[in-house]
A and B are shown apart, each in its own frame.
Chain A
C-alpha cells in the first residue's frame, strides 16, 4: 500500500507540491498526468524516496522510503528518470545488470537480467554499447534495468518512459508494466499520452500547479470537458476510448 499524506515540497522558495494526499494498493498501474511543470516528476521522486518532503510523508507498506538507506530502499522501489544518464561506456547487458547492485542474493540475478532483456526486446542489442543506441532503445534499456531491479511485489516509479518510443514499443513496454502489476507490483508512471492512460491505467492522479486536482478511474477523471479546460484542445470519448480530435 502506497500512502501519500499531506505531502508538500519546495525548491528554495518555490512550492512544487502542495498538500498532496493519495493512496493506492499494490497490483495496479497508476498514471500521473498534468501539464508540464505541474509537479509530476517531483511527486514521482518523492514517491521513490529520492526527494525529502518539506511537510508530510510518503510511506510504502508502512515504511517511509525517504528514511531508508539507499541499499534497503532499492529492494523496495525502482525508479526510472526522464533522461537516462551514463557517463561511462557499458554494454546494454552491463547497464541492465546495474539493476542488481543492491540484490542480497546473486543467484537469481542472471535469470532476472535475461528476463528483463527479453521483455524489452533487447536480445539482439545486449552486447552493443549503450551510447550507440537510439533514444528509444536507451529508454527501453533503463526500463529493463528497473524491471531487473524491482522485487515482484515492489514499487515501480517511471518518469515519462514512453517519450521516445514508437507505438509498437510503447505497447510492449506497457504490457511489461501491466504484467508486473498483475504479479503484485504497484506501477506509478508519469505520462502525457492521455489516450494511452485512458486505455491502460487503472487509476489517474491529476496534478495542476503542484496540487492534486482529481484522482480516480480514467473514465471519471479524464472527461472531455475538463481536458478542454486544461489543455485547450478538443478530446472525444467514443468506442475507441479517449482520443484527441483532429481539429485543435
Chain B
C-alpha cells in the first residue's frame, strides 16, 4: 500500500478509537435531564460496550456492503439502503417470522431454521438478494445499466418492501410484533442477540477476505464489461461472489441494527477522499470507516434529546447522509456521465 493509503487507514482507525472512547464516556441521566461525560459504573459500562460492539459490527457490514455495490454496479450512488437491500432484508426476516407465528415454528424444525436462522440473517439475505436481482434488472435503460434509473428502481422497490413489511407485521399477533417501530428507524442495541452479532462477525470476516482478495479484480471491473473480461476478470464469478457478500452483509446489519440509512453510502466516499480508488486499500478502509461513522453517530445522538428520548440513529444518519448523497448526485463527474456503464 502507498504512503497515502496507509496514512488514510491510520486516520480512520484513530477516528474509530476516539469514537469508541467517546461513546463509552457519553451518557444521559434521565433524572437530571442532561448529558453526562464520565466513566460509568460497571453495569452501565456493559451496556455501552454492547452498543459499541453493535455499532462497530453493523457499521462495518454496511461500509463493506456499500463499497461492493458501488464497485460492482459502477455506481457512486449505490448502497444497501438506497438500492432497497436493507428493506428487502427486513421484509425477508418479517415474512419468515410471520410464517413461523402462523405455522408454529417450534413444532417444525425446518420452518424454525428458515424463520430464525441466525436470528433472521438467513431469510434477510434471501430478501436482500431477491431485491438486488430485481433492482438490477429494472435499472437498465436502453440495454445499459443506468446509475440514476438504478437508484430510482431501488427507491421504489424499497418503498414497496417497506409497505409489505408493515402489512406482514400487521398480520402478526400483537405479542409477536415486538418493538418494531424503533427497529424501523434503526437502532444500536445495547444488548444485541448473540446469534445476530456472531453471524454478522462471521459474514463480515468471510466477505472481507473475499473482497480483499478480489481488490485488483474490482479495479479492472471498473473499466466496463467487455474490457474487464478481455483483461482477464471473470465478471460473472466476481459478481456472483461479491453480490452474495453485499446482500449477506446488508442482511446481517439489518438483523443487528435495523435499516440504517446512508452509512453504506457515505463510508466508501469518505475512504476515496482519503486514500484514492484502489480497492485493495478501500476494502479495509471502508470496513473501518463504516464502523467509525456508526460509532460516532451513536455517540452524538446520546446528546440529542428530541423530547421523546434519544434521537433514533437512523434519523441522524439520514440527516447527515442525505445531503452528501445529493452532492454526489449533482457532482461534476456524475453530470459528465463518467459513471455510466
Residues of A within 8 A of B (CB): 45, 48-50, 69-71, 73-75, 77-81, 84-90, 94, 98-99, 101-102, 131, 142, 145, 149
Contact = CB atoms under 8 A, between A and B. Distances in A.
Contacts of B31: none
Nearest to B340: A85
A50 B333 CA distance: 29
Contacts of B234: 69-71
Contact of B219 (A45, A88, A149): A88
Interface string B11-46: 000000000000000000000000000000000000
A91 to B, nearest CB: 9
Nearest to A157: B230
Contact of B233 (A70, A75, A89, A90): A70
B227 A81 contact: yes
A84 to B, nearest CB: 8
A78 B220 CA distance: 14
B338 A74 contact: no
A50 B230 contact: yes
A131 B338 contact: yes
Given A101-B216, A102-B232, 9 more contacts: A70-B230, A71-B234, A79-B230, A86-B338, A87-B75, A87-B339, A101-B217, A101-B232, A131-B333
Given A71-B232, A102-B232, A131-B333, A79 B227 contact: yes
B219 to A, nearest CB: 6
Chain B interface, >50% SS class: loop
B106 interface: no
Contacts of B278: 90, 94
Interface in B313-341: 333, 338-341
Residue of B230, B235, B278 contacting most chain A CB atoms (<10 Å) = B230
B277 A48 contact: no
A45 to B, nearest CB: 7
A128 to B, nearest CB: 14
B222 A86 contact: yes
B341 A101 contact: no
A98 B229 contact: no
Contacts of B235: 70
Chain B interface category by residue count: 20 to 34
B224 A149 contact: no
A85 B223 contact: yes
Interface in B198-235: 216-217, 219-220, 222-224, 226-227, 229-235
A112 B234 CA distance: 23
A87 B338 contact: yes
The list of the 10 closest CB pairs from A to B, nearest first, reads A102-B232, A74-B232, A85-B224, A79-B230, A88-B277, A87-B74, A88-B222, A71-B232, A87-B222, A89-B277
B223 to A, nearest CB: 6
5 contacts: A48-B226, A85-B222, A85-B227, A90-B277, A98-B219
Contacts of A86: 222-223, 338
Contact of B226 (A79, A101, A102): A79
Contacts of A87: 74-76, 222, 338-339, 341
Nearest to A80: B227
Nearest to B279: A88
Nearest to B235: A70
A74 B230 contact: yes
A149 B222 contact: no
A80 B234 CA distance: 17
Contacts of A90: 219, 222, 277-278
Contact of B220 (A45, A80, A81, A101): A101
A148 to B, nearest CB: 10
Contacts of B338: 86-87, 131
B276 interface: yes
B272 interface: yes
B341 A85 contact: yes
A43 to B, nearest CB: 14
A75 B74 CA distance: 25
